[in-house]
């Protein structure tokens, strides 16, 4: 049942982000919405048990290519003011709290049902060999995107 709730929550975020791509007034918001949609699909892969695909999606699309897009758009937009930094930090804090909840072992899967539930499989994956990669991918994505935004907010990049 928890899987279903998680699926509907992730789907809602993904669909809302994909609509926001076209509803955004500025290009950088559209790119950030696309990154959120990629993140939603990565979470969905994780929910389906395809941990390697989720990791690839997180590393390549969310952490890598979305950051490139944000860098390109933010450096070329003249006089851009990234006013959604607090919102971004809030999202990063929620993500970190969710990962911490799983990593720190508050979820204790037991029995055969553990692998079939979302949080149970997450906890199993985190305890396995992928744990370090997940943490690295999340940290890389958070640090790179927030770093770009902070740099662009305080220092005007000249390309």
Partner 1 sequence: MIMLAYLIALSIALFAIGLAGIATDRHLVVIMLAVELIFAASMIALVSFFSYPGKASPGAVLMMFAIFTVAAAEIITVITFYVYMKRGGIDFDVTKLSKLKW
| Binding of partner 1 by 13 (CB under 8 A) | no
The answer to whether the Cα torsion of 13, 65, 59, 105 is positive or negative is: negative
From 27-35, 88-96, 120-128, 142-150, span contacting partner 1 (CB under 8 A) = 27-35
Residue 68 token pair? 């490139």
Q: Of residues 41, 74, 121, 138, which one binds partner 1 by CB under 8 A?
A: 41
Distance between CA atoms of residues 119 and 13, nearest Å: 18
Count of other CB atoms within 10 angstroms of residue 141: 24
Q: How far is the CB of 143 from partner 1 (least distance, A)?
A: 20
| Closer to partner 1 by Cβ: residue 93 or 157 | 157
What CA–CA distances, in Å, run from 37 to 41, 57, 62, 85? 6, 11, 9, 18
**In the Cβ-directed half-sphere of 97, how many Cα atoms lie within 13 Å?**
6
Six-digit token pair at 91? 């999202």
Residue 8: CB minimum distance to partner 1, A: 8
Which residue in the set 13, 21, 85, 119 belongs to the binding site for partner 1 (CB under 8 A)? 21
Q: Exactly one of 98, 100, 104, 116 binds partner 1 (CB under 8 A); which one?
A: 116
User: With binding defined as CB under 8 A, does residue 45 bind partner 1?
Assistant: yes
106 C-beta neighbours (distance < 10 Å), count: 10
Using DSSP's 3-state secondary structure scheme, residue 143 falls into helix
Residue 27 contacts partner 1 per CB under 8 A: yes
CA 108 and chain centroid, separation: 24
Q: Among 57-65, 79-87, 121-129, 137-145, which window interacts with partner 1 (CB under 8 A)?
A: 57-65
Query: Which residues in this chain contact partner 1 in the complex, by CB under 8 A?
Result: 3-4, 7, 11, 14-15, 18-19, 21-22, 27, 30-31, 34, 37-38, 41, 44-45, 47-50, 53, 56-57, 60-61, 65, 68-69, 72-73, 76, 116
């Amino acid at each position: 049942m928890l899987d279903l709730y998680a699926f509907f929550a992730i789907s809602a975020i993904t669909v809302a982000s994909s609509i926001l791509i076209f509803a955004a007034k500025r290009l950088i918001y559209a790119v950030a919405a696309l990154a959120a949609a990629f993140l939603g699909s990565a979470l969905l892969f994780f929910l389906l048990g395809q941990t390697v695909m989720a990791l690839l999606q997180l590393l390549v699309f969310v952490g890598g290519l979305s950051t490139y897009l944000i860098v390109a758009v933010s450096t070329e937009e003249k006089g851009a003011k990234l006013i959604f930094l607090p919102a971004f930090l809030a999202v990063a804090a929620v993500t970190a709290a969710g990962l911490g909840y799983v990593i720190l072992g508050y979820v204790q899967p037991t029995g055969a049902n553990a692998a079939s539930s979302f949080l149970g499989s997450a906890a199993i994956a985190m305890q396995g060999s992928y744990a370090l990669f997940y943490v690295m991918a999340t940290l890389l994505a958070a640090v790179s995107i927030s770093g770009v935004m902070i740099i662009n907010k305080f220092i005007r990049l000249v390309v």
